């Protein structure tokens, strides 16, 4: 099938492109990219035309931190519904965390997830395997076998590796395979029983807090181990002012550390918890306004490399509980783009830099063949209208779960088309 996307503003940070261009797609690949009206094509097949007037055309977004719950928790999300949610949000590639049931700590589970994704998924799915067996933090997984099965990184997700010696060995082994360790930075002994940020608001609400120092200490430890052993460290969903500064200092020393932030951590503060809405309960928790400002500065100066959603679907029964008893986490794939575009309105980042943190940079960090519009590359493409205003409506989410604190928010920026290898997997007109 031949497709031509015309009249759009093409933004491709990987190739330093930000100008009006037309794109020709043939057999799932980008065949030509030229000024409007300049593409000549010789084909017997009349191309299908997508008119992108008033829209931005960019590489499909990449989310390196999602939970699709399959296998084991299909009532919350499946690979199929997760991919549908991703496509609706403009994401063409996602990486699934290993906290499934069974845990993704063996070749068999990795291959099962990737096989399901290939047969049922709409977007490109990558697997992140466990650092330790069963996420128990007691013994290392078979990292080499997991890499051979297709794993692109290792993480124990919400159960950070607490044992210092074990984490040291994990760095040493992962270095052999040139794959990063992704750490949920939290000293569990400091946060046990907590459900929101520790501070004045938690005291006023009568909720047990989770101090930001729990994150800071873990980030410091991991950077220290990284410096000793080598390897690569990626800090997941960074949320505290001091953690951002620790990463900044590590980068200034040339250490191979990267980090991500979720949109809710630069959009909301602990004040959102005052209504006891369990959709504001997440880990790490929403922090203070000072932390949010530090995160925005980290985005601005490049300390924070990428934006990732930590898409964490939960059934209504998991959230309709007392605040302290509800599950942590929110869905994020269908709100990430408009929330990230707020950074442009606030003059924190240019539109091109927002797109870069959602495309080429995550591709570079995790060595993915994605995140660009180079000639010959897969036609993984997002088309969105940056000025379209609308209200977020969770009832229209494609995710099986609807746990979001952003219901009713007025935002700008909406996906109109998502293409994966030249196939339209989402179109606003047909969804």
Angle at 218 between CA 212 and CA 224, to 5 degrees: 135
Digit-coded pLDDT (tens) for 209-250: 999 999 999 999 999 999 999 999 999 999 999 999 999 999
Domains of the chain: 2-57+377-388+411-427 (2.30.40.10), 60-365 (3.20.20.140)
Instruction: Give pLDDT, residue 37.
Output: 87
For the stretch 134-168, pLDDT in tens is: 999 999 999 999 999 999 999 999 999 999 999 99
Residue pair 160/233 in contact (Cβ under 8 Å)? The answer is no
Contact between 383 and 417 under an 8 Å Cβ cutoff? The reply is yes
Q: Is the peptide bond before 395 cis (omega within 30 degrees of 0)?
A: no
Residue 46: per-residue pLDDT: 79
**Whether 146 contacts 110, CB under 8 Å:** yes
Distance CA 125, CA 83 (A): 8
- The predicted pLDDT at position 347 comes to 98
Please give the Cα distance from 132 to 241 (Å, whole number).
29
Q: What is the pTM of this model?
A: 0.97
Q: Which of 310, 318, 378, 380 is catalytic?
A: 310
Return all residues near 365 (Cβ < 8 A) that are at least 6 apart: 64, 180, 234, 258, 305, 306
In DSSP terms, which residues pair with 277 in a beta bridge?
none
Can you give the pLDDT at residue 43? 58
Q: pLDDT tens digits for 34-47?
A: 999 888 876 566 78
**63 is annotated as an active-site residue:** no
CA distances from 93 to 288, 359, 378 (A): 31, 9, 12
Residue 266 CA to residue 72 CA, distance in Å, equals 31
E-assigned strand segments in 73-198: 91-96, 124-129, 151-155, 181-183, 196-197
Residue ranges, the chain, pLDDT below 50: none
Q: What is the pLDDT of residue 24?
A: 95
The CA distances from residue 71 to 74, 109, 149, 320, in Å, are 7, 9, 17, 24
The beta strands (E) that lie in 204-285 are given as 209-210, 233-235, 257-261
pLDDT of residue 120: 85
Task: Name the pairing type of β-strands 124-129 and 151-155.
Answer: parallel
What element of type H or E holds 351? Answer: helix 351-358
Query: CA–CA separation, 17 vs 25, rounded Å?
Result: 18
């Amino acid at each position: 099938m031949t497709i031509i996307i015309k009249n759009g503003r093409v933004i491709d940070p990987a190739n330093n492109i930000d100008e009006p261009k037309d794109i020709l797609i043939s057999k799932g690949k980008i065949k030509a990219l030229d000024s409007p009206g300049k593409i000549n094509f010789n084909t017997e097949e009349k191309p299908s035309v997508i008119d992108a007037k008033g829209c931005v055309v960019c590489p499909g977004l990449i989310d390196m931190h999602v939970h699709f719950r399959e296998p084991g928790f299909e009532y919350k999300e499946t690979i199929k519904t997760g991919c549908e949610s991703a496509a609706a949000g403009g994401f063409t590639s996602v990486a699934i965390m290993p906290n499934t049931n069974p845990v993704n700590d063996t070749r068999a589970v990795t291959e099962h997830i990737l096989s399901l994704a290939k047969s049922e998924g709409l977007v490109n799915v990558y697997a992140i395997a466990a650092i330790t067996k069963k996420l128990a933090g007691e013994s290392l997984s078979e990292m080499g076998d997991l890499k051979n099965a297709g794993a692109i990184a290792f993480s124990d997700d919400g159960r950070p590796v607490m044992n210092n010696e074990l984490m040291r060995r994990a760095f040493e082994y992962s270095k052999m395979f040139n794959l990063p360790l992704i750490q949920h930075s939290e000293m569990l002994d400091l946060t046990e029983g907590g459900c929101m940020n520790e501070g004045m608001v938690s005291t006023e609400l009568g909720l047990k807090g989770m101090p930001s120092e729990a994150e800071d200490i873990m980030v410091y430890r991991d950077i220290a181990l990284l410096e000793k052993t080598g390897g690569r460290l990626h800090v997941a969903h960074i949320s505290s002012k001091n953690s951002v500064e620790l990463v900044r200092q590590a980068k200034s020393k040339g250490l191979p550390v990267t980090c991500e932030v979720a949109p809710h951590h630069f959009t909301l503060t602990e004040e959102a918890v005052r209504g006891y809405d369990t959709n504001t309960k997440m880990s790490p928790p929403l922090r203070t306004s000072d932390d949010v400002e530090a995160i925005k500065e980290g985005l601005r100066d490049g300390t924070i490399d990428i934006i990732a959603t930590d898409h964490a679907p939960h059934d209504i029964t998991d959230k309709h509980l007392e605040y302290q008893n509800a599950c942590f986490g929110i869905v994020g794939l269908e709100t990430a783009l408009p929330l990230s575009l707020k950074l442009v309105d606030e003059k924190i980042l240019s539109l091109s830099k927002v797109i870069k943190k959602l495309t080429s940079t995550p591709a570079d960090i995790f060595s993915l063949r994605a995140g660009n519009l180079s000639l010959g590359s897969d036609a993984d493409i997002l088309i969105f209208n940056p000025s379209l205003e609308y209200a977020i409506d969770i009832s229209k989410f494609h995710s099986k779960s609807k746990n979001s604190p952003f219901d009713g928010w007025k935002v700008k920026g909406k996906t109109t088309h998502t293409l994966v290898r030249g196939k339209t997997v989402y179109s606003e007109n047909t969804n």
